[in-house]
Amino acid sequence: MISSIIFGILLLVGFGFFSWNILKIRSNILLGRDIDRTDNKKERWKTMLLVAFGQKKMFQRPIPALLHFAIYAAFVITQIELIEIIVDGIAGTHRALRPATGGFYTLAISIIEVLSVLALIATFAFLWRRNLLKVPRLVMNEMTGWPKLDANLILIFEMILVTCIFMMNGADEVLYNRGLSHAADLGDGSFGFTISSFLGPLLFDGVSDHGLHTIERIGWWGHITMVFVFLNYLPFSKHFHILMAFPNTWYSNLEKKGRFTNLESVTNEVKLMMDPTADPFAAAPEGAAEPMRFGVKDVTDLTWKSLMDAYTCTECGRCTSSCPANQTGKLLSPRKIMMDTRDRLEIVGDNRRKHGKDYDDGKSLFDHISEEEIWACTSCNACVQECPVNIDPLSIIVDLRRYLVMEESKMPSELTGMLTNIENNGAPWQFSPNDRLNWANEE
């Protein structure tokens, strides 16, 4: 009874704190401007199944894709065992699903164990790639400090979780063989799990009965505790993409890459200029919405989808490693754009919750992202193409540029002459439109 009460408290606190953080993130995302991404639902479901569930874009780089798939598959399948642990914790039972499922139970847990071993191998491989091999895209400037610690912490959590699984199953296997398991009356002489049936006797055969019970309980409580630690760590980590990848890919931009959006604020101004009956000096009607800003100055000017992108970013660096500007030594890193957007959004969201929705700290997204970064972009869409979960850093970069040009009249000197020519001559070249066909008269 005491064990069930402790478990119930752990369950309520774990899911309660997680839900509270999810609501905070949801409120932050909804600070963005509205955008309709509900069209063509069939294509959206297909995109989500292929890209998020099927890991389609990951396999453009086979080795890390296979390692990632091992962890991903283990994470998905182990939810079966997690359901049983929750049932056992609440009801005070042990392996509650086994009597009803028989041989299928043994098969399911065996698959979980095999996947757990593969996930453990992948975990060591990822730690090696990050800390010893030092793959270039994983050790760039933006990956120092917390991002590096975050990546290593989650891998350490995975190792502890897998260790607890085999402590629980291995010790229980030996106890079951001795007729001392909590599940001693559930069938034949052993559980017969693929890994634990060999690993358990190998490691624990010489351990006393009391010691085995202690190891099994440490494994059981350690497993569920790490699950709740992991669950509540996710909202503060780049690994939140485990949950966000699915809605983010469903709301993907289905337009062809390279097609830019028209700013509604600019469209409205052009319509006003083209309307012969419009009075440009007329006062705005009472209750009319405040005119929209041209481009993006802060995260509240971005669409909610761009803010969702920021929370979905896994910081894998595939976008940055494919960016031609970054490859030629320029300051731009599309990954950093997403990380900076997320950091700024967290600040704005916290300020609004503490001080009210009208609070302004006097800062903007430009305090995190420099003008040099956004003007280094070639708009090639390589970052969008490479992202495993269809994040779009380019849309943020373009909207930041739009603000600088249309609101601040700030741009690189190389562009000033071209824009002046377009304004005066209707073309980037410095000659009159009347002279455009002069080349045809040349002999």
- Per residue in 128-184, pLDDT (tens digit) is 999 999 999 999 999 999 999 999 999 999 999 999 999 999 998 898 888 887 765
Measuring CA to CA, how many Å separate 37 from each of 249, 254, 308, 310?
11, 9, 12, 17
Sort 100 into a burial class: Cβ within 10 Å, 0-12 / 13-18 / 19+. Answer: exposed
Contacts of 165 by beta carbon, 8 Å cutoff, 6+ apart? 78, 81, 112, 113, 116, 219, 223
What letter would DSSP give residue 41? H
CA distance 181 to 218: 15
Strand stretches in 310-376, DSSP E = none
Question: Can you give the pLDDT at residue 250?
Answer: 97
Tokens standing for residue 87: 């049932």
Question: Can you give the pLDDT at residue 348?
Answer: 96
Q: Is the dihedral of CA 165, 166, 171, 172 positive or negative?
A: positive
CA distance 24 to 382: 32
Question: Can you give the pLDDT at residue 189?
Answer: 46
What letter would DSSP give residue 34? P
Question: Can you give the pLDDT at residue 414?
Answer: 82
pLDDT tens-digit profile of 240-293?
A: 999 999 999 999 999 988 788 887 777 877 887 888 887 766 666 665 566 678
Q: What are the residues facing 33 on neighbouring strands? A: 303
Among 125, 144, 11, residue whose Cα is nearest residue 68? 125
pLDDT tens per residue, the chain (443 residues)? Answer: 788 899 999 999 999 999 999 999 999 999 999 999 999 999 999 999 999 999 999 998 899 999 999 999 888 888 878 888 888 888 888 888 777 766 788 888 889 999 999 999 999 999 999 999 999 999 999 999 999 999 999 999 999 999 999 999 999 889 888 888 776 555 544 557 889 989 999 999 989 999 999 999 999 999 999 999 999 999 999 999 999 999 999 999 999 887 888 877 778 778 878 888 877 666 666 655 666 788 999 999 999 999 999 999 999 999 999 999 999 999 999 999 999 999 999 999 999 999 998 899 999 999 999 999 999 999 999 999 999 999 999 999 999 999 999 899 898 888 888 888 888 888 888 888 888 788 788 76
Contacts of 384 by beta carbon, 8 Å cutoff, 6+ apart? 257, 319, 390, 391, 392, 393, 394
Contacts of 403 by beta carbon, 8 Å cutoff, 6+ apart? 293, 294, 295, 296, 297, 301
Distance from the first to the final alpha carbon of the chain = 100
Tokens standing for residue 192: 């017969």
In this structure, how many other beta carbons lie within 10 angstroms of the beta carbon of residue 311?
23
Q: Are 57 and 388 in contact (CB under 8 A)?
A: yes
